[in-house]
Structure 1
Amino acid sequence: MRVIFVLGALIALGPLTIDMYLPALPALGEDLSASSSAVQLTLTGTLLGLGLGQLVIGPLSDAFGRRLPLIIGTAVHVLASLLCLVAPNVVVLGLLRTLQGVGAAAAAVVALAVVRDLFTGRAAATMMSRLMLVMGAAPILAPSLGAAILLTGSWRGVFAALAVLGFALMLVAVFALKETLPPQRRRTGSFGPVLRTYRSLVTDRQFVVLALVAALGMSALFSYVSGSSFVLQGTFGLDQQQFGLVFAIGAVALIGASQVNVVLLNRWSAERIVLWALAAATAFGAVLVAVAATGLGGLIGFLIPLLLLLGAVGFVLPNAPALALSRHGEAAGTAAALLGATQFGLGALIAPLVGVLGNDAPAMALTMTAGVLIAWAALAATRVRTRRAEVAVA
């Protein structure tokens, strides 16, 4: 339980950094005289930082242990949060949000690497599901915390709170996390071996497909995160507090599914659960697109397939990363880095599409559905190819 709490707190830094200022996006755009698309690019900057930062921090954690990169990364997050307080325009804010994402990347990649240091196979998938329960408090509480701050202050106060939270998590890293990578298992941090490790990862077809599945599942979630404040507040007229409540309900659907996943793992394989979850998510997404396009059922009609889609994604997010990481335990930090970079990098590319397509309900629904559909097709095609290869060998 102590390990779950510590790692869950570390993984939560990324969602807190992403979600806490969502209720402030419309007000932020007005204050900085920026369009909604420009404001959404500050979210893109955070996702880019989270993705690219992991590519550097992952190999460093394999070379120097888990704790040192984590402590330095959270310190960077605190500094960037404080600088966001005085950002004069949306461009500077976007750059600082990127730096903030780099700092949060340390917590994300180290937490995944520690899971792989301590657990394998089904145990790792179970651990990931338990972590989602702990870290799930972040997306539930973050928008509500942001909305509460907006009641008494401006959007800049959100970044002051993020600085305090980052500092608290840095203390957790210093005092509550033991080193899980002994010196004899560490890898060299020089450039050549790191590149060779990345090359071995990207030439492993199954790892690449599983990383892509995890990334596309995450991109559906980020499409929701990117567009939800504009759709729910703009299209459906919710205020900041109501938005925080609805966003929390979506997080509960996601987390609840991840806990049911632990029970399902006792009967079915993680890969089979992911395949069926993606098929269900695609079906729910098709209904969501139809409802969003026609307006049938109003807010309730929109929320029902949306929550079902988020619930289906809740089965994908713990299983796909666990399956991918189980293939490369000898380089867990680097593998976790590439996995995380793929997830957040693709999320950074996909999330702005909601704004480009119109920042409305059909745009968000279409983007979410496309992500899970492509993930299902990629995984299904890989399973068919694997079975054919097994038959040929037999």
Structure 2
Amino acid sequence: MSLVSARPRLTSRPAAEAGQARTPRRSVVLLVFVLGVLSATSSLATDLYLPAFPDIAADLNATESQIQLTLTAVMVGLALGQLVIGPLSDRWGRRRPLLVGTAMFALSSLLCMTVTSPEMFSALRFVQGIAAAAGMVIARAVVRDTFSGDAAAKFFSRLVLLVGLAPMLGPILGGQLMLIGPWQLIFAVLGVAGLAGTGLVYFGLPETLAPQDRTRRDPVLMLRTFGRLLRDPRFIAPSMTMALSFAMTFTYISAFSFVSQEELGATAQQFSLVFGINTLGMILGNQVNVALISRMHTSRRLFVGLIGATLSIVALGILGLSGTAGLIEVTVVLFVMMLCTGLISPNATTLAVASQPSSLGGTSSALLGTMQFAIGGILASAAGLTSTGEATLTSMTLVMLATAVTATAVFGIATARGHTETAA
């Protein structure tokens, strides 16, 4: 049975409002796969080419900082793209913006193979980030259209399980591609992935936003909608929690390569192994979240994840202050932190998107994603504000602890005031 043939059931909201999805199991599995591939595209766009930085810099006669700016360009594109694409999906439905986004991602990826300057490279990477944002923001909106409550949390956990493989395998796959060809081969693979995503959307994803639920918004009204969402404590509390916890995780992702190799004596291969192990921790955390769905409320699962992540970072700080921070000890602590992250992300996302009606699914998802990348990316860069301009274990730990504590405080205050009851 194809997913397209299951369209009436996927777009039936009564079942979702009851927190149950009556979608056939086979269709759910296909939906997880399609949305997972689309969501993972952004991770591949940022992680796959990391091992190629030196080769790209040499080929384009660029400095390392210029090549690093191409990563920033993708992040900016991801943040801004969601603000635009989310509302468009509320107006035109989910499929058309997705088809345009995946096709644009494929084209921009292939054009990256032809760049002759770092400036041209950054511009194309910015476009690539905007295109990749379509998969991220609309995937969340599709889940909002189809599921709610615990059913949505369970689906998000399955989705993050698949998406979590991208940051784990991305650098490893990129390194292997460098062994068999030039760095342009990486972007050829990304182009093929974009074309595959276009095919998956066209043949495997039905429209989940009914015509009567679509909304037309002019720019002024759109800004007012964003303003209303920012003033809605049911939305802003889990969204800020998500953004701050993402800053915690992204600080680790962006800084640990240097910290592990310069301070802890790891080789590049050992760093890749540690990175993969910790990503497995996040995947395991998502499965723990699924197991707890029938036993624990969404808000409580999120709070457990926040507390666990904060305590693990405190342990990391103790290791650093005591001088006992070795690669194995730090890996164990970070594994626990990433496991707890597996409890944070799906539940915070569920609470945020479930607080709004389906007609605002794309807009609310866009604002959530923009906050995540903008706030998370800016705060994570604070780890590099040292005398040498490079992140250290101490600076990394301080930023991670500050963001984790703040995220816990934000959500704790919101819970105490009764602003997290949407997904009950």
| Partner residue, 1:52 | 80
d(CA) in 2 for partners of 1:291, 1:155: 38
Moved more, 221-230 or 275-284: 221-230
Checking the alignment, whether the CA contact within 8 Å between 2:38 and 2:135 is kept in structure 1 is yes
Q: Which residues in structure 2 correspond to 1:153-232 (within 5 Å)?
A: 153-232=181-260
| Partner residue, 1:84 | 112
Judged with a 3 Å threshold, the aligned counterparts in structure 2 of structure 1 residues 147 and 228 are, in CA distance, closer, same or farther, namely: farther
Unaligned runs of 5+ in 1: 388-394
Structure 2 residue 387 is matched with structure 1 residue 355: no
d(CA) in 1 for partners of 2:312, 2:61: 37
What letter is aligned with 2:379?
I
**What's the offset of the Cα at 1:91?**
3.8
Structure 2 residue 407 is matched with structure 1 residue 386: no
Checking the alignment, whether the CA contact within 8 Å between 1:122 and 1:265 is kept in structure 2 is yes
**What's the offset of the Cα at 1:288?**
1.6
Structure 2 residue 138 is matched with structure 1 residue 110: yes
Judged with a 3 Å threshold, the aligned counterparts in structure 2 of structure 1 residues 129 and 17 are, in CA distance, closer, same or farther, namely: same
Unaligned runs of 5+ in 2: 1-28, 420-424
Moved more, 234-243 or 142-151: 234-243
SS in 1 for 2:156: helix
Per-residue CA deviations over 1:262-281 (Å, capped at 9, x if unaligned) read 11121111111211211221
Aligned with residue 128 of structure 2, among 96, 100, 113:
100
**What's the offset of the Cα at 1:99?**
1.5
| Partner residue, 2:374 | 345
d(CA) in 2 for partners of 1:350, 1:120: 31
Structure 2 residue 292 is matched with structure 1 residue 260: no
CA RMSD of aligned residues (A): 2.2
d(CA) in 1 for partners of 2:201, 2:316: 41
Judged with a 3 Å threshold, the aligned counterparts in structure 2 of structure 1 residues 162 and 241 are, in CA distance, closer, same or farther, namely: farther
Checking the alignment, whether the CA contact within 8 Å between 2:317 and 2:394 is kept in structure 1 is yes
Structure 2 residue 46 is matched with structure 1 residue 21: no
Q: What is the count of residue pairs matched by the alignment?
A: 387
Moved more, 9-18 or 34-43: 34-43
**What's the offset of the Cα at 1:176?**
0.9
**What's the offset of the Cα at 1:205?**
1.8
What letter is aligned with 2:397?
A
Per-residue CA deviations over 1:282-341 (Å, capped at 9, x if unaligned) read 111122234345552421122111111111111100000100111102311111111111
d(CA) in 2 for partners of 1:372, 1:151: 38
**What's the offset of the Cα at 1:20?**
1.4
Per-residue CA deviations over 1:230-281 (Å, capped at 9, x if unaligned) read 2334444544444332221111100110111011121111111211211221
d(CA) in 2 for partners of 1:232, 1:166: 33
Aligned-pair identity (%): 41
d(CA) in 1 for partners of 2:274, 2:369: 27
Moved more, 365-374 or 273-282: 365-374
| Partner residue, 1:151 | 179
Q: Specify which structure has the bigger relative contact order, considering alpha-carbon pairs within 8 angstroms and separated by 6 or more residues.
A: 1
d(CA) in 1 for partners of 2:169, 2:48: 8
d(CA) in 1 for partners of 2:352, 2:314: 28
Q: Which TM-score applies when normalising by structure 2?
A: 0.85
**What's the offset of the Cα at 1:27?**
5.0
d(CA) in 2 for partners of 1:233, 1:26: 16
Structure 2 residue 348 is matched with structure 1 residue 320: yes
Moved more, 29-38 or 348-357: 29-38
**What's the offset of the Cα at 1:138?**
1.3
Structure 2 residue 364 is matched with structure 1 residue 335: yes
Checking the alignment, whether the CA contact within 8 Å between 2:110 and 2:188 is kept in structure 1 is yes
d(CA) in 2 for partners of 1:62, 1:79: 25
Judged with a 3 Å threshold, the aligned counterparts in structure 2 of structure 1 residues 16 and 360 are, in CA distance, closer, same or farther, namely: same
**What's the offset of the Cα at 1:30?**
5.7
SS in 1 for 2:104: helix
SS in 1 for 2:304: helix
What letter is aligned with 1:334?
T
Aligned with residue 245 of structure 1, among 257, 273, 285:
273
**What's the offset of the Cα at 1:204?**
0.3
Judged with a 3 Å threshold, the aligned counterparts in structure 2 of structure 1 residues 119 and 14 are, in CA distance, closer, same or farther, namely: same
SS in 2 for 1:104: helix
**What's the offset of the Cα at 1:29?**
4.9
Judged with a 3 Å threshold, the aligned counterparts in structure 2 of structure 1 residues 98 and 235 are, in CA distance, closer, same or farther, namely: farther
Moved more, 27-36 or 274-283: 27-36
d(CA) in 1 for partners of 2:267, 2:223: 49
| Partner residue, 1:69 | 97
Per-residue CA deviations over 1:69-99 (Å, capped at 9, x if unaligned) read 0111112212222232233444433332221
What letter is aligned with 1:366?
L
SS in 2 for 1:12: helix
d(CA) in 1 for partners of 2:375, 2:299: 21
d(CA) in 2 for partners of 1:360, 1:33: 28
Judged with a 3 Å threshold, the aligned counterparts in structure 2 of structure 1 residues 180 and 264 are, in CA distance, closer, same or farther, namely: same
Aligned with residue 405 of structure 2, among 366, 373, 378:
373
**What's the offset of the Cα at 1:351?**
3.3
